[in-house]
Structure 1
Amino acid sequence: MTDVILVINCGSSSIKAAAYAVEERPAPVWKGNITGIGSAPVYRALSGTAAGERMALATDMTTHRSLIHWMLERLGQEMPSLRVVAAGHRVVHGGRHFDAPALIDDTVLETIQGLSDLAPGHQPHNLSGIHAIAEAWPEIPQVACFDTAFHRTQPRVAQLFALPRHFADEGVLRYGFHGLSYEYIASVLPRHAGSQANGRFIVAHLGNGASLCAMQEGRSVATTMGFTALDGLMMGKRCGDLDPGVIMHLLRDRGMSVDEVYHLIRRESGLLGVSGISNDMRDLLESDDPRAQEAIELFVHRIVSQLGALVAQLGGLDGLVFTAGIGERSAPIRERIAARLAWLGVRLDPAANAEGASCISTTDSALPVFVIPTDEEGVIAAHTRTLACATPRAQRREREALACS
């Protein structure tokens, strides 16, 4: 049997899972995911003898918890030689309470549950993963890794809203998200940028959820998301930055309820709302519809505008990184963004960009531009290994040393 760490990453309509050997190795020994939760769930095996297999699941399995239990059974079928000894979870919101991963106990679990109102589209699903693992293997340790933790290094002024200060004292702050992705990029950036990695970098995490992070010396200085993951850039279905007066107008003058407005800005806006076609950038790039083109232009406009603000906060820029689904795979979007950054001296190599090479800037570009695939699950596995597995192994080695002495 091989002892493994199971990583669960629950999104609003998806579950990513991966198993990593307890003995440190970079690649998982098993991967699988479920997409389409809430409509037509589909499981896809991503490793082992079943790699590439797709399976439509029963539509009556509507909850993340029930689907995780199904996935755990599937793991046992695909890889019967694996024994799960610890589990790590992505948890979107850690509030002011967590600036690092934490072993889950009753107190930690209660705190995570108490933050659910700040991330209602994600936190309950993250909790479902924790509960499902506890039901399957109540004896194994579990670790929570928080998307907000990476940004706790930001200066206080970058975290504040211009509200009466008692709100900040009560936790109404700019928290930032996608921290596990940014943490991974910060950890591998020296491989790509060498000694420049400690300089002023902006990382563009562009996917169905999107944000930017300004980093210096591998630490978060500022980011575009704020109190919730609705803030900042235009996204697949989320509007991003919005004048608070628009919310008041919708509530007061349009007669919409709070729930209706919340659904509008979270599920009906962004690329989907502006285009009226799709929240998938691939669909929009393939479309000749002027509305699709306008949605793309607005997406790029928002990125460039907010990137400029982060450059000002950093006092300059030494490098740019694209990551996540759109950032890693969409050469046209990278090209459009870079063209708007010519004032910074950014120059892309068209061939390298089309290939999705690691470095896509020209040799005469004023700053390097990289495409680096992110690995949130790998970050979670590493933290889980440290918190839940490293100590027992060290204790075991100490006992063995004493027995031999």
Structure 2
Amino acid sequence: MSTACAQYILAVNSGSSSLKFGLYQKDNLLMALHGSVKPNSSDENHFIVQDHHNEFLANHPLAHSGVLPGIKELISWLHGQRTRYPISAIAHRLVQGGPNHREPEIITPQLLKQIHQFTYLAPNHIPIALEVIKAFQAGFPDAVQVACFDTYFHKDMPAYAKHYPLPAKYQEQGLQRYGFHGLSYEYIMGKLITKSPGVLKKKVVIAHLGNGASMVAIKNGRSVDTTMGLSPMGGLVMGTRSGDLDPGVLLFLLNKGKLSTKELDDLLSRDSGLKAIAGYSDMETLVLNQARDQKAAEAITTFCYQIKRSIGALAAAMGGLDILVFTGGIGENSAVIREYICQDMAFLGIRINKRLNNKGHRIISKKNSTVTVRVMATDEAAVMAKHTQTLISKSFIS
């Protein structure tokens, strides 16, 4: 329950077409509100705000689609609640900050300029993120704005996993494997460590599976490899993103397809992946249709095959596997996809209990499974709020 003297931290997680947010008390980080702006089943953008009991405080369609109209609606709604929820800081998820910006930091004009220079590393994410930051700076000029980078969790990956076998001059321009979904991985590891500090000595694979999907290998609490590389387009096949491709495929598309770099980017990020295979990318719909739609079944098989293959590769990178975690919209909510992925993985020690899996239990592995298989909800906004609280405390900003 809010009080007159309470201050709040707003955590904003904006994507290329949707956004999620959470509002947290500055002192104790208790969540007061959470919400989203995203397309519904009719492709109509919907604005939702719920309190900590999940009671709806706002739930209505928006006249215009896209992130920026959603941000405008959120700012307007928060202004209407500003006496009850005074906001002193706003945390922003940024996919990419280049090689020199990994740790959370307070946003300055100089930082925004430097991030803009790395737009080419994430052209579908950085421009929108910068617009979102500007909108909140204008809407809340007295609030501290904080950047939380999705690459932070992977900053200490070993050089052999981080660097591409290309001339050093490109590395100097920021070409390296950054890894993403770091805020999600940080949250999951924090929860695992709270349950059992011994996790820091374990070999863990976390599968963050959603419309965007990646996996990470964590050994002794450290990210040692991950499926995404330079950009969020790489690694696993995703909803509309291609995932990893033979470099020859890109040359083919440029030479034979006569694509411009913009057309190539649009193809790989918006018109590839599950959408290219089945004609649509929503996993829930694919699962419902797989029995009568061969293309849907093919898309699911491709998705699960690549994840299964990556589990084996990441386990090999660590010399074994102790814990496998499923998270993200698909990983947490689709028992069918988890079952498909874990089929025929007993050679690696992965054996799941179908009954527990179908009932949505948090631990779904069998007693004789040498790998503990968990299903966990992630909360990137909570991590962002925590980083912001720490930064404010260190900087003596009230």
TM range (shorter): over 0.9
Which residue pairs with 1:247 in the alignment? Answer: 250
What is the CA–CA distance in structure 1 between the aligned matches of 2:288 and 2:57, rounded to whole Å? 25
Task: Show CA shifts across 1:280-316 (max 9, x none).
Answer: 1100000020110011000011111122111111111
Which residue pairs with 1:228 in the alignment? Answer: 231
- SS state of the match for residue 31, structure 2? coil
Which residue pairs with 1:98 in the alignment? Answer: 101
The code of the aligned residue for 2:308 comes to V
Matches within 5 A, 1:198-347: 198-276=201-279, 278-287=280-289, 288-347=292-351
Which residue pairs with 1:83 in the alignment? Answer: 86
Aligned match for 2:63, one of 58, 66, 72:
58
**Range with greater deviation from structure 2 (335-344 or 146-155):** 335-344
What is the CA–CA distance in structure 2 between the aligned matches of 1:323 and 1:57, rounded to whole Å? 29
Residue 34 (str. 1) matches residue 37 (str. 2): yes
The code of the aligned residue for 1:11 comes to G
Change (3 A) 1:304 1:391: same
The code of the aligned residue for 1:55 comes to H
C-alpha displacement at 1:389, in angstroms?
4.6
What is the CA–CA distance in structure 1 between the aligned matches of 2:240 and 2:219, rounded to whole Å? 30
Task: Show CA shifts across 1:170-196 (max 9, x none).
Answer: 211011110100111111112445524
- SS state of the match for residue 13, structure 2? strand
- SS state of the match for residue 98, structure 1? coil
C-alpha displacement at 1:256, in angstroms?
2.6
Matches within 5 A, 1:61-140: 64-77=67-80, 80-140=83-143
C-alpha displacement at 1:255, in angstroms?
2.4
What is the CA–CA distance in structure 2 between the aligned matches of 1:77 and 1:139, rounded to whole Å? 16
**Range with greater deviation from structure 2 (144-153 or 158-167):** 158-167
What is the CA–CA distance in structure 2 between the aligned matches of 1:70 and 1:14, rounded to whole Å? 13
C-alpha displacement at 1:46, in angstroms?
2.2
TM-score by length of 1: 0.91
What is the CA–CA distance in structure 2 between the aligned matches of 1:231 and 1:20, rounded to whole Å? 33
Unaligned runs of 5+ residues in structure 2 are none
Percentage identity across paired residues of the two chains:
39
- Verify the 8 A CA contact 1:196 1:318 in the aligned structure 2: no
- Verify the 8 A CA contact 1:65 1:131 in the aligned structure 2: no
Which residue pairs with 2:376 in the alignment? Answer: 372
- Verify the 8 A CA contact 2:15 2:67 in the aligned structure 1: no
Task: Show CA shifts across 1:188-224 (max 9, x none).
Answer: 1124455244311010000000001000122211000
The code of the aligned residue for 1:328 comes to E
What is the CA–CA distance in structure 2 between the aligned matches of 1:362 and 1:192, rounded to whole Å? 19
Aligned match for 1:388, one of 389, 392, 397:
392
Task: Show CA shifts across 1:64-122 (max 9, x none).
Answer: 34432321221243574110111111000022112310111122121121122211111
- SS state of the match for residue 89, structure 1? strand
Change (3 A) 1:252 1:209: same
- SS state of the match for residue 155, structure 2? helix
Q: Which runs of 4+ in 1 moved over 4 A?
A: none
- SS state of the match for residue 20, structure 1? strand
Task: Show CA shifts across 1:345-378 (max 9, x none).
Answer: 2111112211221111111101101111111000
- Verify the 8 A CA contact 1:31 1:47 in the aligned structure 2: yes
**Range with greater deviation from structure 2 (341-350 or 219-228):** 341-350
C-alpha displacement at 1:382, in angstroms?
0.3
Which residue pairs with 2:187 in the alignment? Answer: 184
Which residue pairs with 2:25 in the alignment? Answer: 21
**Range with greater deviation from structure 2 (255-264 or 337-346):** 255-264
The code of the aligned residue for 1:300 comes to C
What is the CA–CA distance in structure 2 between the aligned matches of 1:245 and 1:193, rounded to whole Å? 46
**CA RMSD, 1 decimal:** 1.9
Which residue pairs with 2:145 in the alignment? Answer: 142
Change (3 A) 1:52 1:346: farther
- SS state of the match for residue 94, structure 1? coil
Structure with the largest fraction of helix: 1
